[in-house]
Structure 1
Amino acid sequence: MPKKARELSATEVRRLTDPGLYAVGGVAGLQLQVAKTGARSWVLRIKIGDRRRDIGLGGFPDVPLTDARAKARALREKIAAGIDPVEERRATRLALKAQTQRLTFDEAAAKFLALKNHEFKNAKHAAQWESTLATYASPIIGKKRVDEIALADIEEMLTRDDLWLAKTETAKRLRGRVEKVLDWATAGGHRSGDNPARWRGNLDARLPNPSKVAKRRHHSALPIDDMPRFMSHLADMEGNGARCLEFTILTATRSSEAKGATWSEIDLAARLWTIPGDRMKAGKEHRVPLSRAAVALLKALPRHEGTDLVFPSARGKALSENTLTAVIKRMDADMPEGQGYRDPNTGGIATAHGFRSTFRDWAGERTAYPGDICEMALAHTIKNKAEAAYRRGDLLEKRRRLMKDWAQFCAEGDTQGSVTPIRAQEG
């Protein structure tokens, strides 16, 4: 049996300054190590199984004698229980290191797209993947680590703003794309377990079958590629109703907001239209950046005596909704059979409100603008309360570039043949 060391006092320990190892007693194997540099640290020398271990317990005097003895006793208790503290520490370090190496979904999606880019049919297909994930997945799961994403997160992503029912095809593509990104992350060791975005035996128990989702009635909207010919035709139409409709489309606003627009709300020099909160659906002031096309339209309009309205009726009042509807119906009637301005999904003639859907489809499918910029352009309310609390600005300058690109598309179509980049110049 080894000789038991005498239990030193705190004062005696402080006096140990010569290089060497000193048994301090109180706990078998506890020693103070004094280096040649004068640095002092605690070491527990102990046998674990057939191996001799020297376990560091911290420096002295940062770790005082009483704490060193307490740590040494705790380690001896673990060893007596069959636990190797050295291996335990190593496993903890590896776990922490692995944790810091785990990817967020946004990071995983970026890596996945970079590796799979050559598999896409063309640049437009790759851009659609990127846009779908950025618009619908990133706001919900983008900042989450891939190993933390659960079924509830995927379900929230697919049902926010009624996406699964309102835009079923988009939601289906989104689910499949997220599933592929998470499969890639699993194969790379960044996560483990079942894929929460899997449909069969998973989401099929939580969401309606997409093939059986009843088609919902929406405002009829014009297909994206029909916009240039529609706008060209609209420019030839006369009257304030046609000009109000044109302005509504160029600003992606609600027709009620455009019909109630006043000159006092518009700053032509700054190319800015500020709609007061009492005229907005959400009750909050909304600033609309005006493209050069929108400003040119306004400058060409006459000012009417007795009213501040930009688009007054013949009686000096705000235009009715029927006025804008009548413009679209006349334009549709002017076209040859099968070439009118109709929504292929509903079969109905396009509506003034439906052009907001066309704008959103164009922004989501033909551009790389982030979803929050597109939603803010439509003055949609941020439903996530935490995000809304931190969102102070309105992304005006970024939206200005978006509206410039929208006006250019309405006039010229998709001249680039793929995705509209976020450009540095203002519109």
Structure 2
Amino acid sequence: MGELTATGLKAKLATLGKSPLQAPVRIGDGSGLHLLVKANQTSGGAWVLRYSYGGKRRDMGLGTYPAVGLADARAAAEEARKLLRSNTDPLAARGAEKAAQARAAAEAEIKATTFREAALATVAAKRDGWSNPKHAAQWLATLEQHAFPQLGEMPIAAVDVPAVLRVLRPIWPKIPETASRLRQRIEAVLDLARVRGWRSGENPARWRGLLSEELPPSRRVKRVEHRPALSWQQMPAFWTALSNVDGMGAAALRFAILTAARTGEVRGMTWREVDMEASLWTVPSGRMKARRTHRVPLSAAAIEVLRAVQPERPRSDHLIFSGGDNVMLSDMTVSAVLRRMNEPAEGENPEGPPRWRDHEGRAIVPHGFRSTFRDWAGETREEGRDVIERALAHTVKDKVEAAYARSDLLEKRRPLMEAWGKWCLQPAGIAEVRSAELERSDGKRRKAA
């Protein structure tokens, strides 16, 4: 039995409260149990059991008074003494219990974390590294449509190879390119889950040596369909038609064609990026697909497009091709220009092929003009592959080659872009004669080779 009583303890605390304490006071109950009262806490205190273990003095907290009463403190102290009698350190036992509880909580969290939650966490982790803000929505849309119905509510730790294959097998032969992209995104989600401790073991969505044994390469399932592109020989005739189309979407498309740029880069460009005197457009790395600054030499034709939309006093931070109130044009606005140009005129067969189409009869799209430029440059110009690839802002895939090829070949690209602008703007009739001459000349070069 201890030395204190509940009433006696209250009386001692009342006495301590009558005058300020200069130092902490211990009210002992015997056998190492005492109430530690600090100078500013005379209405209560902390229960402490002082004991020795392994030759060292140790203090073990048992709770605060009055939340923990005298009887409860004695009971807790006796449990600790039982551990001491069995040669167990009570503080070490408490630490082990807390660690076990933490492990149990972590295991419960792992079991509770679903594939959907891990996917959202993956997007949040990668968002700042994506140049296009819409990429997050596209990333999730693919998972929402194809993966979440099967995996969404499944614990991330339970996702295995059969589960991944249940998602991929139905769509692999139908839409192989999308299916391959989906596999990569599932793999990324599972990688993040492993890093965060939500799962362990190998990634069941890994391709090499795993899913490659179950599925054929996507490129062999179906031929990759490239974006429909106009032949370069038709470019002057198309330009004549495009010149008769008004609106900011048409202006943005003209500029994208003349610079061989992606429409997203054009739609987001501001006056700050353009140096009219130097005929130069500098696209910051944050808006480039490859996350590298890209300098574009502007031809006389491209400069004219800019002058046509330039306000009297342009603000450096304002968009050049704005839909009004400095709002960026949508990608659909630019695409709609081509759709309207391909609408059948009165009296034409609405079921007939589109006026502006690729060699397979498909209606052309804005991104296809980069291919048009690539074909024109490759077949008619002498600048060479490196200069053309730099004009398209393509990265060098070989890491060793990329380490040495640091120049963007700006000055070599200037005559290339100037010639492209002249080709686009020359009258269609003259262009047909010129393209025939170029094709004959190209044929002679091939024979000579």
TM-score (norm 2): 0.44
**Larger RCO of the pair (alpha carbons < 8 Å, separation 6+):** 1
